């Protein structure tokens, strides 16, 4: 089973007793190590349901599940493979009653959070509310509640946000709702305050594996320590897999302190380095090792490859953004002539706005492309509409979901009616849905408005009953299809679309969503340890719908050039990578932080890691480009190459483009255009 692993990987896989840190350099096979270790734990006698492997994305969890299934078959179904937030949901669904949380609590999405914060803070400005949400998320990631945040507030602005945070938490409690940060913070609080719950979960989890450990926040690390019994067990069953050189999410709460503290918190920790890269050529890896070299080292390592030297890394100076885009397109056309598929090529950049010039150039050349990290499936308005309905079915106290569902599609219930409903609900201290049938409401509303609300309430109750029992005699798909027909959602899309084509595309997304929900209810993602299919009620699946972030879309496998930010590209790879806009002020992005040398140094180190991530996405060829001039507003100003280009320590004789290479590029471009005309 493990004959394909190198010695370092084997060492990591066979270390079963006690904590370990696997320092997995870019492209060194960390997923292979995690899945083989899961197989080894099962082989050693640990029941699959006592193994938890925690990732940061649903996509990574799905990939890990497939790989584990190929190694151990049906036994992989029993392993808990999920994100940190999904684990938090499971803990709170089972034991949240100890915190006064019912099992059908709602999970608010970012739009809900912004809406509630506006209300709590008395503002209509979305930018202000988003800033409040970011600050509150920072505090929660550090484990602070509203009182602690107020005590630590740096200025009047922070004091205001801390007071808004207190009102926000009161509102969440009233709604029986949580936000994404609560899915880590509340399980931590639960396990810390209730020893019997903590002991039960520690006994349940015989080994915990964590992927991308360098991206954990302070509260995620604290939750891990409690789950594995740090300080309570002599050899806590923990495997952390990560790379300090790829820590690029400091802005969202990830902290390298978790790596620094790991050997101190776990004295018996075994550290294993994976330095053999299976992705890139040595020319690319030399540039990566050189650029990350100036950063302080927690655990020094040097990547190497058995794939040979490969083509030299090239650096191109471009006159401006349009020139850079033209050069990139010509390069991609040349790769196409030499046999590459469009999907083999990626253009990576630091900021979203950099994609515009490349999109224009690719369109002009007739090259298909897709922008990675664009609107996620669950961010589409039509999917948010459906999710609001499902959240309301799962939790009648979810006021944000109620407001969206009752007004989508329109059913003659206006803002004035909803405002009066809200006033009565506030006076009675009930949720909006509970207030629908309150006697006090009859004296407040006109008969017609009251009738519309009652009709809506009765329909939700009927749909809720069907969703709870839609297993066996009535399948989830029929319930969902009838629901869409009842509310006239397809017609609603046509009434509010800019064109029939747009309405058709949105309806296609709705049908994809219905298929996906029906599959989950059918047991595709929920099997018992023996691998038997276990159908689930629609209502049970609806309870977790707000936690999900992506669905596989129809165009996922299309043959197209990928445009992506460096942050969105982490974990991905392409044969041919063009790393664009490597200029001071872009990469690194605004290196000086208000004259604070320590903060500026920390920012440069993270930006350098981001450059390292970009370089190590390339498998066979890498081109790095920078601009001689940049557009700032309406003005064009001189620009400088990034310091990171010099730090790559490339050989000038091979890195810089000479006249012969330029002529070769032109011939490639002409050949590519001729080929396109023939097609």
Give 395-411 as a DSSP string.
-TT-HHHHHHHHTSS--
Cross-strand partners of 636 = 631
CB within 8 Å of 376: residues ≥ 6 apart: 549, 550
- The number of C-alpha atoms within 13 Å of 644 and in the hemisphere containing its C-beta is 34
Angstrom distance (rounded) from CA 660 to CA 663: 5
Question: At 468, which helix (H) or strand (E)?
Answer: helix 447-469
Query: Which one of 109, 112, 179, 211 is the catalytic residue?
Result: 211
Pairing assessment for the beta strands 629-632 and 635-638 based on DSSP bridges: antiparallel
CB within 8 Å of 150: residues ≥ 6 apart: 159, 162, 163, 166
Distances (CA, A) of 266 to 19, 37, 528: 7, 20, 34
Angstrom distance (rounded) from CA 615 to CA 288: 6
Pairing assessment for the beta strands 345-349 and 276-277 based on DSSP bridges: unpaired
Q: Is 645 helix (H, G, I), strand (E, B) or coil?
A: helix
**Would residue 246 show up in a list of annotated catalytic residues for this protein?**
yes
C-alpha radius of gyration, the chain, whole number: 27
Residue carrying structure tokens 């091979």: 654
Q: Which of 538, 539, 567 is nearest to 250 (CA)?
A: 567
**Would residue 211 show up in a list of annotated catalytic residues for this protein?**
yes
CB within 8 Å of 412: residues ≥ 6 apart: 448, 449, 452
Query: Which one of 135, 286, 570, 617 is the catalytic residue?
Result: 617
25 marked ligand binding residue: yes
**Would residue 544 show up in a list of annotated catalytic residues for this protein?**
no
CA 555, 559, 562, 568 torsion-angle sign: positive
Angstrom distance (rounded) from CA 95 to CA 91: 6
**Would residue 270 show up in a list of annotated catalytic residues for this protein?**
no
Within 10 angstroms of residue 411's Cβ, the number of other Cβ atoms is: 14
27 marked ligand binding residue: yes
142 marked ligand binding residue: no
Distances (CA, A) of 260 to 26, 264, 513, 651: 20, 8, 43, 35
Residue carrying structure tokens 């790991």: 262
388 marked ligand binding residue: no
Query: Which one of 9, 30, 219, 619 is the catalytic residue?
Result: 30
Query: Which one of 31, 43, 464, 656 is the catalytic residue?
Result: 31
Angstrom distance (rounded) from CA 252 to CA 347: 24
Report angle CA 312, 313, 314 to the nearest 5 degrees: 110
Angstrom distance (rounded) from CA 189 to CA 201: 14
Report angle CA 284, 290, 294 to the nearest 5 degrees: 150
Pairing assessment for the beta strands 177-178 and 106-107 based on DSSP bridges: parallel
Angstrom distance (rounded) from CA 191 to CA 624: 48
Angstrom distance (rounded) from CA 35 to CA 39: 6
Angstrom distance (rounded) from CA 238 to CA 221: 12
472 marked ligand binding residue: no
301 marked ligand binding residue: no
Query: Which one of 246, 255, 281, 333 is the catalytic residue?
Result: 246
Angstrom distance (rounded) from CA 659 to CA 669: 15
- Report how far Cα 485 is from the mean position of its chain's Cα atoms: 33
Q: Which of 459, 28, 12, 342 is nearest to 209 (CA)?
A: 12
Residue 360 burial by CB count (10 A; 0-12/13-18/19+): exposed, middle or buried? middle
Query: Which one of 109, 112, 182, 212 is the catalytic residue?
Result: 212
Enumerate the known binding-site residues.
24-31
Enumerate the known binding-site residues for ATP.
24-31
Catalytic machinery residues: 30-31, 211-212, 246, 617
């Amino acid at each position: 089973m493990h004959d394909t692993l190198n010695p370092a990987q084997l060492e990591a896989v066979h270390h079963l007793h006690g904590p370990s840190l696997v320092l997995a350099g870019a492209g060194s096979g960390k997923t292979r190590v995690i899945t083989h270790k899961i197989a080894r734990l099962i082989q050693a006698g640990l029941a699959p349901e006592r193994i938890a492997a925690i990732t940061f994305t649903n996509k990574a969890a799905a990939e890990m599940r497939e790989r584990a299934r190929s190694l151990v078959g049906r036994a992989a179904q029993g392993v808990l493979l999920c994100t940190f937030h999904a684990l938090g949901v499971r803990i709170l669904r089972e034991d949240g009653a100890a915190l006064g949380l019912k099992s059908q609590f709602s999970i608010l999405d970012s739009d809900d959070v912004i809406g509630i914060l506006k209300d709590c803070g008395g503002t209509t400005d979305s930018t202000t509310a988003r800033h409040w949400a970011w600050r509150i998320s920072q505090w929660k990631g550090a484990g602070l509640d509203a009182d602690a945040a107020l005590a630590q507030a740096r200025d009047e602005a922070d004091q205001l946000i801390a007071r808004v945070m207190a009102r926000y938490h009161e509102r969440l409690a009233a709604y029986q709702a949580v936000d994404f940060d609560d899915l880590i913070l509340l399980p931590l609080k639960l396990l810390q305050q209730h020893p019997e719950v903590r002991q039960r979960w520690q006994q349940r989890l015989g080994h915990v594996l964590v992927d991308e450990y360098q991206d954990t926040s302070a509260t995620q690390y604290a939750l891990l320590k409690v789950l594995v019994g740090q300080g309570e067990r002599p050899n806590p069953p923990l495997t952390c897999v990560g790379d300090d050189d790829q820590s690029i999410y400091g802005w969202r709460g990830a902290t390298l302190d978790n790596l620094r503290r790991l050997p101190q918190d776990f004295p018996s920790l075994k550290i294993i380095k994976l330095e053999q890269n299976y992705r890139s050529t040595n020319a690319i890896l030399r540039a990566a090792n050189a650029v990350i070299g100036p950063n302080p080292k927690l655990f020094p390592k040097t990547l190497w490859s058995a794939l040979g030297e490969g083509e030299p890394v090239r650096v191109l100076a471009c006159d401006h953004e349009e020139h850079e885009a033209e050069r990139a397109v010509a390069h991609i056309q040349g790769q196409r002539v030499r046999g590459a598929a469009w999907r083999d090529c990626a253009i990576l950049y630091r900021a979203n706005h950099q994609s515009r010039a490349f999109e224009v150039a690719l369109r002009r050349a007739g090259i298909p492309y897709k922008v990675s990290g664009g609107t996620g499936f669950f961010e589409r308005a039509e999917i948010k509409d459906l999710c609001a309905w499902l959240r309301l079915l799962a939790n009648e106290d979810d006021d944000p979901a109620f407001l969206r569902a009752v007004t989508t599609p329109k059913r003659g219930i206006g803002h004035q009616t909803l405002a009066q409903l809200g006033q009565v609900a506030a006076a009675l201290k009930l949720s909006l849905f509970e207030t629908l049938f309150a006697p006090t409401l009859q004296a407040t509303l006109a008969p017609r408005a009251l009738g519309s609300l009652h009709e809506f309430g009765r329909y939700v109750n009927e749909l809720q009953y069907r969703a709870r029992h839609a297993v066996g005699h009535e399948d989830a798909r029929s319930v969902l299809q009838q629901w869409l027909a009842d509310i006239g959602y397809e017609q609603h899309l046509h009434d509010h679309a800019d064109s029939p084509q747009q309405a058709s595309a949105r309806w296609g997304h709705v049908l994809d969503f219905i298929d996906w929900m029906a599959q989950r209810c059918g047991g595709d993602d929920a099997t018992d340890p023996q691998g038997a299919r276990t159908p689930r009620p629609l209502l049970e699946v609806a309870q977790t719908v707000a936690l999900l972030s992506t669905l596989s879309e129809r165009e996922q496998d299309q043959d197209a050039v990928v445009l992506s930010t460096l942050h969105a590209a982490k974990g991905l790879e392409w044969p041919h990578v063009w790393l664009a806009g490597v200029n001071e002020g872009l990469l690194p992005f605004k290196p000086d932080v208000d004259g604070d040398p320590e903060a500026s140094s920390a920012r440069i180190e993270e930006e350098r890691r981001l450059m390292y991530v970009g370089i190590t996405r390339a498998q066979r060829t890498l081109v790095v480009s920078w601009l001689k001039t940049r557009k700032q507003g309406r003005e064009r100003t001189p620009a400088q190459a990034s310091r990171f280009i010099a730090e790559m320590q490339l050989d000038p004789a091979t890195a810089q483009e000479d006249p012969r290479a330029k002529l070769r590029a032109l011939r490639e471009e002409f050949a590519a255009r001729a080929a396109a005309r023939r097609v």
